[in-house]
Amino acid sequence: MLLLLTGICLNVSGQDFCSLIKKEVSPDRTIYDFASPYDPAAEPVVRVTRSYGTNPDYATDNFFVIFRITGALESIYKMTDTGEIEIPEHKLVVEFDDQSKYEDDKIQISHDFTEDRMNSVRYIFYPLNDTTSKEFASKKIVKFSLAGFEQAVPPDSANAIEHYVQCMRDVKKD
């Protein structure tokens, strides 16, 4: 049985962030998916997801913070002699409320388009391991940047993200 430790996820106002996480379980009870709530139209879009499988032949545990920034459509392309090509981009920088930073300059930024195809979308599924999940579960994100494109994170969103990471870290596999 899976338990979310809700006691850890209560902030001073008493909001239970763990109860806001969407949980799906496969019919054979071997795949468990968790996702924080989000509004794809809101900025910034930062989500927390975790999916794991208990089947011994396909055991998995994928824990991510997803960062997303929209921008000008032409910002992800450059003109060459043969036409327009997509620019490969790297680098994630996350700044926390204690003035510490987390940087990864090797991770590739993915590109997409908004639904109306008028803007570009830069996004990254940043994997959390034991070390990084501790950091993201104990600090509030102030801002982040993807390939130099920066996005501030409002305090209420930062608080929620921190708690969602805490909740998903504490998922128990039984």
User: Distance between CA atoms of 109 and 92, rounded to whole angstroms?
Assistant: 8
Tokens 């959390």 appear where? 128
Q: What is the pLDDT of residue 8?
A: 37
Q: pLDDT by residue (tens digit) across 6-19? A: 333 344 455 789 99
Give the per-residue pLDDT at 79.
85
Q: Which residues pair with 125 in a beta bridge?
A: 66
Question: pLDDT tens digit string along 54-97?
Answer: 988 888 999 999 999 999 988 998 888 888 889 999 999 999 99
Per residue in 104-120, pLDDT (tens digit) is: 999 999 999 888 889 99
Pairing relationship of beta strands 77-80 and 60-72 according to DSSP bridges: unpaired
> Residue 174 pLDDT more than 80?
no
Q: What does DSSP assign to residue 98? A: T
Q: What is the rounded distance in angstroms from the CA atom of residue 137 to the CA atom of residue 22?
A: 18
The tens digit of pLDDT for each residue in 117-142 reads 899 999 999 999 999 999 999 999 99
Higher-pLDDT residue of 3 and 69 is 69
Q: How many CA atoms lie within 13 A of 56 on its CB side?
A: 0
